[in-house]
Amino acid sequence: MSVSLNQSLLNFAQFAGVGGEHGGHPGADRSSGEHPDQPVDADDQDGGGDDQGGHGHHHRAHVATLVRSVLALPPVGWRNESLLLRLLHWKPKAMAVVGVLAVLVLAGASATVGVLASPASTRDAPGRQAASIGYLVERTKFLNDESHRFLGNLLPLNAAEQRVSRRLMAWKEREYNVPEADFLPAHSFFLVREKIERSAVYRFIRRMPKGAVLHVHDLSAANADYVVQNVTYREHVWGLLGDGKGNGAVQLRFAPAAPGPGWELVADLRRRAASVQDFDAMLSKVCTITDMNPDETYPDQATVWHAFDGAFSVLFSLLTYAPVFRDYFRRTLEEFYEDNVMYVEIRGVLPPLFDLDGKEYGQMEVAAMYKQVADEFRREHPDFLGVRLIYAPSRHVSVGEVHEYLEFFRKLKTQYPDFVAGFDLVAHEDDGRPLIDFVPSLLQLRRDLPDVKYFFHAGETNWEQSLTDENLVDAVLLNTTRIGHGYAIDKHPKVMEIVKERGIGIELNPISNQVLKLVQDLRNHPGAALLADNYPVVISSDDPGMWGARGLSYDFYEAFMGMTGLKADLRTLKQLTINSIRYSAMGEAERSHALSVLERRWQDFIEDVDNERFPEQDLPVVRQLRGLAGDSAEHDNSIHSVTSWEA
């Protein structure tokens, strides 16, 4: 490698603000690799300022070390085009690193490197080479500026978080580097759930504190296994099973005696079944919409929503038996708690409940049951931060019925001012009545209760300029606190502007939107654009029991892998957990306390992961650098420097 190329490399490093033998932090011996094991600062992680947290000199030292490592490598070591391309993308927003590699390729080395430059480029005039380098510098700066807008990219990470983030990114890169047919977020959750469970990224997310879940429905929140293996094994469960294979009008309910002709005790039906396992699988099928051939079974949204409503009807009949209702809600809290969720805002329809002796429970009594179970659970789990209820009846009703809902909500909020968070209207938006129909009643409630919080489902549709997607407009005009789904928000730029200005939380539910046929490949989810521009988004799971999920981790995985891109790292996950508390219905003092608790739990998690042994083979770039550079002793020090920078 020529002296002029060496000097170009060092000059560029100095120009980019990272020092070299003639620049950088005073007092550090650049040639000695004095800081090979110091953590990379936030800017090396694609975000943050050069001096963020007082570690800017570490950034300069590491890049200067990398420069010398590159200079020390023999030209033959750079013959692998894919490695260089991966290095160019490994830290694409650390301008100095990309610039160093660009100079290596373009400033006279192309004849021996043989990677990006064509043979003809070796005969280009120096001015043309300089123009190419200038373009790459400008491109890198462009990407750097853009990356600072991504959700979480300005969060500072401490040294342990940086190490854990690099570990996470090694796993993420490995799961990205698969044939497109094997990329999990591109396929129906029904088909890839078990593969997700084997993912290192998913296992990491499952262990991670996830803050709060802010969008989940009460009668479809717990896993269906609990319904089948616990609820249907209880006494007094009756079934009307159609043809006995899950086809026809399958119904299940609790009753002291047969509800009518054809009903039999489920215990007797199970006993007579040729296979108990197959019988229970049939029950699971009618309580969920899971299917291993979803494109054929559910060719369109109308079909899948019909199946959803059928499964919900079965669950409603089973779960409105008062003892089961209490147990199911407790099981819901247990599943979220086991998934490292510390706070829940649950949307409840407050269904009428009954006991076998004929006693019935009204909506206010049902709300009291919610609160009783939530209070008991919190007493038994002191590190759980609590539950709030969003009263969320169906939108498939008349204007008069919504007026009655709101009159009841006034009483409910008066009775439980801290427990009840606010009001929503739910069910399939395309088939339900739009918010505009109910605006007079909603405005009147706002006048009477100025502090009322709305959490409207809005924009859960593929349509544009319809009454359904215009629910987004009405939601913001009604001063909603959060928006459920907001799938069509990218079709309403004014709504997007207001959402960002006011900090209106957008509750993204990736798996729900996929299985209910709004989007197939989650890389195409409009939430990806919201994440890329730091909108106030949170991740939730909607109706996890309906599709064989539990908790929140599956949706976090799908969002992190499918909607954030390759370069989004630990900062994105951390910001999402912070957002879940920030955009909750907590009061200011409670929110501040919750963020403190979350930070402690987060740092405990980081410490646990950081202290675990991490095999070097999980660092793909470092592994290939070692292989390409060879094992000769004369290059050991330079390769060690690069390894320390990445590992």
In whole numbers, what is the pLDDT of the chain averaged over residues? 83
The predicted pLDDT at position 619 comes to: 46
Max Cα–Cα distance, the chain, nearest Å: 94
Q: Minimal CA–CA distance to 10: which of 62, 58, 68, 50?
A: 68
Domains along the chain with CATH numbers: 3-148+616-646 (no CATH), 184-223+312-604 (3.20.20.140), 224-311 (no CATH)
- Strand pairing partners for 265? 238
Q: Where is average pLDDT lowest: 45-54, 389-398, 511-520?
A: 45-54
Mean predicted confidence (pLDDT) in 582-594: 98
Q: Is the pLDDT of residue 251 over 60?
A: yes
Q: Is the pLDDT of residue 603 over 50?
A: yes
Q: Is the pLDDT of residue 43 over 70?
A: no
Mean predicted confidence (pLDDT) in 431-444: 97
User: Which position has the higher pLDDT, 328 or 70?
Assistant: 328
593 in active site: no
Residue 464 has φ and ψ, to the nearest 5°, of -130, 140
Confidence band, pLDDT 50/70/90 cuts, at residue 134: confident
Q: Which of 217, 485, 492, 525 is catalytic?
A: 485
Q: Which two tokens stand for residue 378?
A: 């919190």
Q: Is the pLDDT of residue 496 over 50?
A: yes
For 397-436, write each residue's pLDDT tens digit.
999 999 999 999 999 999 999 999 999 999 999 999 999 9
> Sign (positive/negative) of CA torsion 178, 181, 184, 190?
negative
The predicted pLDDT at position 126 comes to: 65
Write the DSSP string, 506-568.
Answer: EEE-HHHHHHTTS-SSGGG-THHHHHHTT--EEE--BSGGGGT--SSHHHHHHHHHHTS-TT-
Q: Where is average pLDDT lowest: 69-73, 343-347, 469-473?
A: 69-73
Q: Where is average pLDDT lowest: 7-16, 236-245, 408-417, 536-545?
A: 7-16
Q: How far apart are CA 196 and CA 386, in angstroms?
A: 29
The predicted pLDDT at position 97 comes to: 52
Q: Estimate the share of the chain in helix, then strand, then coil, as percent rounded to the nearest 5.
A: 55, 10, 35
Instruction: Kindly report the pTM of this predicted structure.
Output: 0.80
For 271-306, write each residue's pLDDT tens digit.
999 999 999 999 999 999 999 999 999 999 999 999
306 in active site: no
Residue type, 74: P
Q: Which of 161, 173, 460, 558 is catalytic?
A: 460
For 453-482, write each residue's pLDDT tens digit.
999 999 999 999 999 999 999 999 999 999
Write the DSSP string, 247-310.
Answer: -S-EEEEE-SS--STT-EEHHHHHHHSS-HHHHHHHHHHHHS---SSHHHH--SHHHHHHHHHH
